[in-house]
Structure 1
Amino acid sequence: MFLLSKMRRSTVRGLSGTGWGMIALFLGVLSLGAAQNNTNSSFIPKVAILMNCGSQGSKSDAMGRSWVGDEESKYAPPTVANLVSAAASSQDPSLPSPVPYMTARIFTAPATYSFVVSPGRYWLRLHFYPSDYTQSYPRSDAIFTVASNGYTLLHNFSTSQTADALTQAYLIREFSVNVSNDHLNVTFSQDRKSGYAFVNGIEVVSMPDLFNSAPLVGADAQFSISSSTVLQTMYRLNVGGQAIQPIKDSNLSRTWYDDTPYIYGAAYGITGDNGTNDLVYGSIPQYMAPVDVYTTYRSMTPDPTVNSNFNLTWMFYVDANFTYLARLHFCEWIYTLPNQRAFNIYINNQTAETAFDVIGTGANLGNPIYKDYAIYVPAQEGDPYLFVALQPDVAVKPQYYDAILNGLELFKLNDSAGNLAGPNPVASIVDNSQGPDSGVNASPSSHSSSSKGPVIGGVAGGVAVLGLILALFCFIHRRRGRSSDGDKPSGWLPLPLYGGNSHTMGSKVSTASGKSGTGSYVSSAPSSFCRHFTFAEIQEATKNFDESRILGVGGFGKVYEGEVDGGTKVAVKRGNPLAEQGIHEFQTEIEMLSKLRHRHLVSLIGYCEENCEMILVYDYMAKGPLRGHIYGNSNLIPLSWKQRLEICIGAARGLHYLHTGAAQTIIHRDVKTTNILLDENLVAKVSDFGLSKTGPTLDHTHVSTVVKGSFGYLDPEYYRRQQLTEKSDVYSFGVVLFEVLCARPAINPSLPREQVSIAEWALHYQRKGMLEQIIDPLLKGKINPESLKKYGEAAEKCLAEQGVDRPAMGDVLWNLEFALQLQETAMENKLVDDSTTDLIQMSPDYSHVNNSATYAVGDNSTSTSTAGHSLASVDLDDVTPSAVFSQLVNPQGR
């Protein structure tokens, strides 16, 4: 077919009329056969029910799909007193459509929808919008169970907790249910007497039987998926391409999401789009996945050396104690011969297949195929993750060291008790967020890009063996009591906190508390700056790591609330040996924070490294991360614009101190809203220094380093050139500024392509002078226009494509302080003015002041820099403000 495709696109000369006729006939027959093949493999659903619960009549959603109300529907439960029709109290701006989310059917007793259908498999999709439905039905009281034909789909399901943890406005849960009789029943029942169950929309769509059997990874066996197995769709990704809406998916109404938020590490590879009509489904039915899935792809870099040392990896948060089916979709568009591109497939550090070669399977160029693998995810310490990784198989010496993937689906299978329900996710306090989930999938947003589980090395099997060896070592180490032997090193590597051999761990000393440092080998860091805790002290502080004390989970491990020294609250971060961050981040955190003290940096109180443990102890931050206060947690009181400005100013002061106030420039490298924590007075403090780097010296303009950070916040120049400067922090902070203003995640893959990245989306509106159109609805009418203008300009400058065009953090800080001055002055004027004119319409004209400020900030002279420092931080009070800046301290006076 590839040869014929080339013939169609080329000019054929010297053929007689008969020759042309024969070729035309030949091509016509083949085209007819291909068309018949595609027609035969298409699927037309016999049942396609879209029910708008709590509504009457027929209404269309934003995609033009018609939803029928369940009022008096033959499928709905009988009309009794425990059924209530209710409307949501407010509409979140991120809802894809008012239908079906703005009305709900509420149940205060078990109730069943009964759909009359023919035997076969069906997609069952449940839509939930956690909202207050009148005062009688607050969103937090919705905790319920959903069952279908004898299977438990959801249990103790809290829609509000789940939505808050995943920072989603709405939830979609999709199941594949087999019906053996003529009824598909869906039963809702509340799990608390004072609570209720609800649903906004139900889809029942007939589907072909897509599932059969798959090799069980890690065992020499096949896992059979019977006709009675129920599956839940956990993830469905269009790898390397844009999101695909249900109306573009082969009559099966599936949604395919962008894979970018799920990529693990900095190895993103490259994406491609064939952009032609040469796709021929061949041996698989065309409903297996849409054309757009197979014509777009993600492959590795053009550098074979890089590819041979790194994996192309995706990370997924899953529920433990379930078997999962991973379906990988492939279509080769570049290589035409076997062994040109051969690679290994790893799932959860186990080899699923070696030397996999798309062309080697018998497929031709443009022929899609798919591979299924089953894997069981057992219970484990910390959050369970499932990894899919690809790496060139150098053992078979392929012509090109590369790998490719076009699409990925991950399904959870019911257990032996007929259960599919997992626990509600918990919002992380110090999580390294990567962006929200689309609705169908469990999101990594509550389980960060930096909390991505174990590092997948070059050869997955080797890493697994190494992990077992490490675990065995730690077990033996504890059993033998080696931590009490003063002549033996501790379980973790020595920490040269200040460089040089004289500061490595090597002698047992007492802790600051006066208790014995049993088994501890601390550096010579001043004990007043970095206290050493014994493991027994940590156990006592956390009540032996009581699960009820967990504040959150990050890339290093779990964080517990603790109490030391008779009641002082602390945050205890316990390292997970299988987590992404390890000894290097542990050392970096101590090395950085033990030397830093600043009002806007989270203080490190101490650490513990006994008994194969890595534990860090910090100041307790009562209000948690900034992100939870601007979106994702409706239980918190919304922040005013003044509070948001003050928090951004505090964070900027902390970063400014890192860049200019420490002995050496320190580049944070992971600035984002989850790493800005708030104390009980809403004072912002920058946290999580595990990825931090000491910045460039006078002889160097940058630090060359492996790219690390969080997707959505990552400086594009740093990503391209792998050259780190403090301007990378400035870029990330610019993303934070727009995130605070617009109250939405840095990355939201469920939105249209142009809105996925807040940096691109907000910059577009900022440059058009329409930034006020996309701000947090809670702030509309409450921001002084000049304050908003100055704030938007500051954020825009931070996001300049080239680092050299971005301002220093001191200049960003000054602009934010000036924006705050403008807001406060407008508020004072409003109090004086008896008029009821809205604040957004009555701002005074500060154009002359603003112009002066812009000029001063844009000037790179010494006086501007000095002035910027004077206003930037109360911690740098030995600098005198310049005349220009002193006039701007109180703009009302001018």
Structure 2
Amino acid sequence: MMKTKTKTCTLFCLVSFYFVLNALHVLSASKSNAVSYILSCGSASNEADPDGRKWGPDTQYLVSQANSETKGAQYQDPSLPSTIPYMSARIIKSELTYSFKVPGKTRHWIRLHFYPTNYETYLSNNAYFSVVADGVTLLKNFNSSITALALTQSHILREYSLYPSGEVLNITFTPSPDHKDSYAFVNGIEVISMPDLFKRAIMVGFGEESVNTKSSVLQTMYRLNVGGQFISATKDSGLTRQWYDDSSYIYGNLGMIPDIEANRKILYPKDLTGYVAPVDVYRTARALGMDSAVNANSNISWTFQVDSNFTYMVRLHFCELSYTKVNQRVFNIFINNQLAEQGADILIWTGAINVPVYRDYAIYVLGNDNVTITMNPDKSMTPEFYDTLLNGLEIFKLNDTLGNLAGPNPEISKEMEEYDRNWLRIVADAAEREEKKKKEKLIAGAAGGAGAVGLLAVCIVVYTRKKRVLGSECGATSGWLPLYGSWSNSNGKSTTSGKSCSSSTLSSLAQGLCRHFSLAEMKSGTRNFEESQVIGVGGFGKVYKGIVDGGTKVAVKRANPSSEQGLHEFRTEIEMLSKLRHRHLVSLIGFCEENDEMILVYDYMGNGTLREHLYKSNNPQLSWKQRLEICIGAARGLYYLHTGAKYTIIHRDVKTTNILVDDNWVAKVSDFGLSKTGPNLNQTHVSTVVKGSFGYLDPEYFRRQQLTDKSDVYSFGVVLFEVLCARPALNPTLPKEQVSLADWALHCQRKGILQDIIDPQLKGKVNPECLKKFAETAEKCLSDQGKDRPSMGDVLWNLEFALQLHENPNGASLIADERSSRTTGAINSGTNGSHGGESSIDDMSDGLTTSAVFSQLVNPQGR
């Protein structure tokens, strides 16, 4: 018996050893045959990006350079991940081919990088072109400017995977003949050998039928680290892929992120190497949680925009990190509402915890432009917990039967088109004004120069005569100096004024709207951006306390070059705030846009953000009256945005960190970088990409991508509960049902137990009728559908009524009865003010304080 066991063990070891050797042989062979071309197109030398990846020039891979030239980008968007390869480009005026030597029978990545901007006389709007690689059409009539605008991205990366048909891979760029002045361009090209990661995928909706992805050319559409953070190319498992956060694609229930140890060891099986996905993908996940009562009828969905009439492969990555037994977590997977997998149990697939696995599914998308992936517990299997799990997600487009992968350029919303047209018009007008000024200066300079020459001639004549006289008298000689003027040194600074002589398009655009500070003034006022001056940090960058004009306190917001927020938010903030003046809106004093810096300068708000006075700080607790007055001030600011300006303005990022408080405890709404002009009279909403802060996002806006002023009302409802309960909008450390403040507060309000979750500092200090009115107002703001929410005018009235109930319970109800008889007063006069052009509107309620009875509101709907 022992001998048999020994023989079996020996045989097993030999077989295992054989497989290891075979795997090492394959790996070493693939490495020896591997190629890696990483080209910065238009660059003349080798350069490294911030990740340390080296990019070489592209000239030696061109079949011919006769029909192309190199150009540098005229402007660097702050949200670009790197200047390399994006600030140089190969401009292609007629068909041009890159040729690469590659090993046969090996799959390769092809990555194309595009930065849509103007390259001297080559305008980005004219760049329509096609790209063909090894006979497969990757792009057709492609315009990266339209694509970037529709996707609100600064640059475009297209990634493909294919088997070259031979040992030479050709990539050909061709300007589109259907567009006048069209040209092609490319900033970066990568051709990198890769292992074959694709086999067969189950065709969803067709029984056991499958698609052979091994022989297909694939385009990477999405690659997500579910429940985790961005994974850069250098942290991928040797394949230089980028894995993005999944939160922007979740539809409805956000699910939860299990608490997993960061150093959890992932045990790859022998048939699955780290090339499939890096360990960081399998160490994070998103799930429903262990509360079966809540999860029984719940699901998690992700939705993605794609091109119709193509087949897509959906790869789902799994790794069981918590449960240890079969039938503890069993779930169903749906793709586009079709059952892809029933009774999925990760432990049945892997046999052990911490072992990764993936499943491939194929779906043909016909007549729509979305792929939706939904997971819910499989109750029919009666698992121990009603739960789901997903660690990573990839979506690839497969070429069609004609060898085509190209889809149409995305459609830009009418609002985005109008914005783009308006912006281009404003920039053109600004450039025209700048050119006019230059001509006027040139004419004036010429006239002045002529006068100076004449004066100089007279001086020379007089001097010569004097010299002759003096020389004849004493034999003395002397020299002369030119007339003094304003001379500029090599760095563009005036020697007399010390200010920059240069002017950017953005600076010209903002002239007349707000003040333009020099970078020297900003450095001086913030002690060269010293860390001790930092008073806040946000998505845009750090905020510093500063001094200008010898003693005026200001808040200086400096853009972080690596921030996701960039030029668009910078422009929006200037354009919005420079035209608005209101007691409850933070005033923009000016900006600085110099040496690639983007800096905004505001009034200094001595008491910081509202959140700082609610929790997680050492500040004294606010009284209930102070909290009410701050909420009323913020509501007045939002009401003005919705109804008091020339156009409806939707803030889109209302939260307690964007409500600031000055030295006199006056609340002001801040941060207009995400603001949008609202719908016109013939529209009900604005269709736009979802932006904002999780925990405050209007669920209807999130689901339908339709923005209205009621989206601000929802966010403000979360703020009201945050003020009442003194806790964050999202707190992942709490039990699942309590993570979202909005959901938990609504649950407690409807159960009649709201008193249990309010700030302990307030208990016994709030008039019950006042609390009831305040909570009812917050509850209505959080209605699931926008049509059921109050207007901001109604919210304002209810809050002021709640204040009266707190201060004067008996008199408040009498005042409420008089509401219908009030006149419009200050609001109407404010709305019909002089805001038609670039002028400002004064605060419609400047004369009203929170101790006044009510803002005189009869028709709070505004326009």
Q: TM-score, normalised by structure 1?
A: 0.50
Residue 398 of structure 1: CA displacement? 0.6
CA distance in 1, matches of 2:117, 2:361: 38
In structure 2, the residue matched to 1:565 is none
Question: What residue is the counterpart of 1:104 in the other structure?
Answer: 89
Equivalent position amino acid for 2:147 in 1: T
Q: 1:560-571 maps to which residues of 2 (within 5 A)?
A: none
Q: Letter of the aligned partner of 1:241 in structure 2?
A: G
CA contact (8 A) 1:345 1:353 kept: yes
Whole-angstrom distance in 1 between the partners of 2:70 and 2:211 = 42
Of 708, 725, 736, which residue of structure 2 is paired with 1:687? 708
Task: Provide the rounded CA distance (Å) in 1 between the counterparts of 2:237 and 2:386.
Answer: 34
Distance 1:378 1:246 in 2: 33
Q: Which residue of 1 aligns with 2:303?
A: 315
Q: Is 1:91 matched with 2:92?
A: no
What amino acid does structure 2 have at the position aligned with 1:199? V
Give the 3 Å change call, closer, same or farther, for CA 639–675 of structure 1 in structure 2. closer
Deviation at 1:265, TM superposition (A): 1.2
Give the conservation status (yes or no) of the 8 Å contact 2:287–2:389: yes
- The structure-2 alpha-carbon separation of the partners of 1:721 and 1:86, relative to structure 1 and needing over 3 Å to count, comes to same
CA distance in structure 2 between the aligned counterparts of 1:308 and 1:670, rounded to whole angstroms = 33
Question: Shift in Å at residue 29 of structure 1?
Answer: 12
1:405-428 deviation digits (Å, cap 9, x = unpaired): 111000001111111111112233
- Alignment partner of 1:211 out of 198, 208, 233: 198
Which residue of structure 2 aligns with residue 352 of structure 1? 340
Contact 1:325 1:375 in 2 (8 A): yes
> Aligned partners of 1:258 and 1:158: how far apart in 2?
26
- TM-aligned CA deviation for residue 278 of structure 1: 2.5
Give the aligned partner of residue 157 of structure 2.
172
Alignment partner for residue 286 of structure 2, among 263, 280, 298? 298
1:441-520 matches, within 5 Å, as none
Contact 1:308 1:392 in 2 (8 A): yes
Counterpart Cα distance in 1 of 2:214 and 2:848 = 76
**Superposition pairs of residues 790-805 of structure 1, within 5 angstroms:** none
The AA in structure 1 aligned to 2:678 is: L
Distance across 2 between alignment mates of 1:209 and 1:173: 19
Instruction: Could you tell me which runs of 5 or more consecutive residues in structure 2 were left unpaired when the two chains were aligned.
Output: 1-9, 417-564, 588-633, 645-649, 655-671, 687-706, 731-737, 750-790, 797-802, 816-824, 832-842, 853-863
Distance 1:139 1:645, change over 3 A: farther
Q: Return the offset for 1:689.
A: 3.9
Distance 1:280 1:38, change over 3 A: farther
Partner of 1:331: 319
Using a 3 Å threshold, how does the CA distance of structure 1 residues 422 and 652 change in structure 2: closer, same or farther?
farther
Letter in 1 for 2:386: Y
1:336, distance to aligned residue in structure 2 (A): 1.6
Aligned-partner Cα distance in 2 for 1:250–1:262: 24
1:728-772 CA-partner distances (Å, limit 9, x unpaired):
xxxxxxxxxxxxxxxxxxxxxxxxxxxxxxxxxxxxxxxxxxxxx
Aligned 8 A contact 2:291 2:385 in 1: no
Partner of 1:128: 114
Q: Decide whether the 8 Å contact of 2:321 with 2:353 is kept in 1.
A: yes
On the 8 A contact 2:713/2:792 being kept in 1, the answer is no
Q: SS state of the match for residue 130, structure 2?
A: strand
1:107·1:198 contact (CA, 8 Å) conserved in 2?
yes
Q: 2: distance between equivalents of 1:196 and 1:636? A: 31
**1:217-250, CA deviations, whole angstroms, 9 ceiling, x for partnerless residues?**
0111433325441100000011111111111112
Q: Give the Cα separation in 2 of the matches to 1:229 and 1:33.
A: 31
Question: Quick one: which amino acid aligns to residue 87 of structure 1?
Answer: G
Q: Who is 2:170 aligned against?
A: 185
Identify the match of residue 146 of structure 2 among 158, 161, 164.
161
Residue 408 (1) aligns with residue 408 (2): no
Seen in structure 2, the aligned counterparts of structure 1 residues 708 and 634 have a Cα distance that, compared at 3 Å, is closer
Instruction: Assess if the C-alpha contact under 8 Å between 1:143 and 1:195 holds in 2.
Output: yes
Distance 1:725 1:278, change over 3 A: closer
Are 1:252 and 2:252 counterparts?
A: no
Q: Contact conserved, 2:282 with 2:391, CA < 8 A, in 1?
A: yes
Distance 1:300 1:703, change over 3 A: farther
Residues 675 and 687, structure 1, Cα contact 8 Å, conserved in 2: no
Counterpart-to-counterpart distance in 2, 1:701 and 1:278: 39
Q: Residue 222 of structure 1 corresponds to which residue in structure 2?
A: 209
Cα distance in 1 for partners of 2:164, 2:72 equals 32
Equivalent position of 1:288 in the other structure: 276
Of 637, 643, 651, 2:579 maps to 643
Contact 2:219-2:398 within 8 A present in 1 as well: yes
- Distance (whole Å) between structure 1 residues aligned to residue 715 and residue 50 of structure 2: 50
Q: For 1:340 and 1:724, locate their aligned partners in 2 and report how far apart those are by CA, in whole Å.
A: 29
What is the CA–CA distance in structure 2 between the aligned matches of 1:40 and 1:275, rounded to whole Å? 32
Q: Contact between 1:695 and 1:702, CA under 8 Å: does it hold in 2? A: no
- Displacement of 1:268: 2.8
Q: 1:116-163 deviations in whole A, cap 9, x for unaligned?
A: 1112210000000011100x2011111111111111111111111111
Change over 3 Å in CA distance of 1:326–1:695 after alignment to 2: closer
Alignment of 1:5-20 (within 5 A): none
SS of residue matched to 1:874: helix
Give me the whole-angstrom Cα distance separating, in 1, the residues matched to 2:637 and 2:279: 49
Partner of 2:407: 422
Q: Kindly state the Cα deviation for residue 266 of structure 1 after the two structures are TM-superposed.
A: 3.4
Structure of greater Rg: 2
**Aligned mates of 1:49, 1:197 — CA distance in 2:** 21
- Per-residue CA distance 1:37-71 (angstroms, 9 max, x = gap): 99678674711110010011210011000010113
Q: Which residue of 1 aligns with 2:98?
A: 113
Q: Secondary structure at the match of 1:242?
A: coil
How far apart, in 2, do the equivalents of 1:281 and 1:113 lie? 38
Give CA-to-partner distance per residue, 1:789-834, whole Å, 9 cap, x none. Answer: xxxxxxxxxxxxxxxxxxx999x99xxxxxxxxxxxxxxxxxxxxx
Amino acid at match of 1:368: P
Question: Quick one: structure 1 residues 877 and 133, their matched pair in 2 at CA, closer, same or farther if it must change by over 3 Å?
Answer: closer
Matched, 1:275 2:262: yes
- Is contact 1:675–1:688 with CA below 8 Å preserved after alignment? no
Q: Aligned with 1:104: secondary structure?
A: strand
Deviation track 1:676-726 (CA, whole Å, cap 9, x = no partner) reads 42779xxx9983548967999xx999999xx999xxxxx986356353999
Residue 198 (str. 1) matches residue 185 (str. 2): yes
Counterpart check, 1:656 vs 2:639: yes
Deviation of 1:429 (Å): 4.6
Give, in angstroms, the shift of residue 294 of structure 1.
1.0
Task: Identify the residue that residue 364 of structure 2 maps to in structure 1.
Answer: 376
Q: Which residue of 2 aligns with 1:12?
A: none
In structure 1, distance between residues paired with 2:22 and 2:293: 42
Identity %: 42
User: Are residues 255 and 391 of structure 1, via their aligned partners in 2, closer, same or farther at CA, if it must alter by over 3 Å?
Assistant: same
Does the aligned pair in 1 maintain the 2:652–2:676 contact within 8 Å? no
For residues 635-659 of structure 1, give each alpha carbon's deviation from its aligned partner in whole angstroms, at most 9, with x where no partner exists: 9998375136689789975843799
Q: Give the corresponding residue for 2:818.
A: none
* Residues 39 and 189, structure 2, Cα contact 8 Å, conserved in 1: yes
What is the CA distance between 1:178 and its match in structure 2? 1.1
Tell me, in whole angstroms, the C-alpha distance in 1 between the residues paired with 2:226 and 2:577: 39
Return the alpha-carbon distance in structure 2 between the equivalents of residues 104 and 871 of structure 1: 54
TM superposition shift of 1:363: 2.9
| 1:874 has 2:837 as partner | no
Whether the aligned pair in 2 keeps the contact of 1:677 and 1:687 (CA below 8 Å) is: yes
Alpha-carbon distance between aligned partners in 2 of 1:421 and 1:97, rounded to the nearest angstrom: 27
| Cα-to-partner distance string for 1:361-409 (whole Å, 9 max, x where unaligned) | 24311111100000001013xxx21111111100000111111111100
Q: CA RMSD in A?
A: 4.9
1:721 aligns with 2:764: no
SS of residue in 2 equivalent to 1:309? coil
Residues 725 and 279 of structure 1: CA distance in aligned 2, closer, same or farther (over 3 Å): closer
> Are the aligned partners of 1:240 and 1:272 in contact in 2 as well (CA < 8 Å)?
no
- Rounded to whole Å, the distance in 2 between the matches of 1:155 and 1:308 is 46
Distance 1:182 1:327, change over 3 A: same
Equivalent AA in structure 1 for residue 64 of structure 2: P
Aligned residues: 507
The answer to whether the 8 A contact 2:336-2:371 is kept is yes
Alignment match, 2:438: none
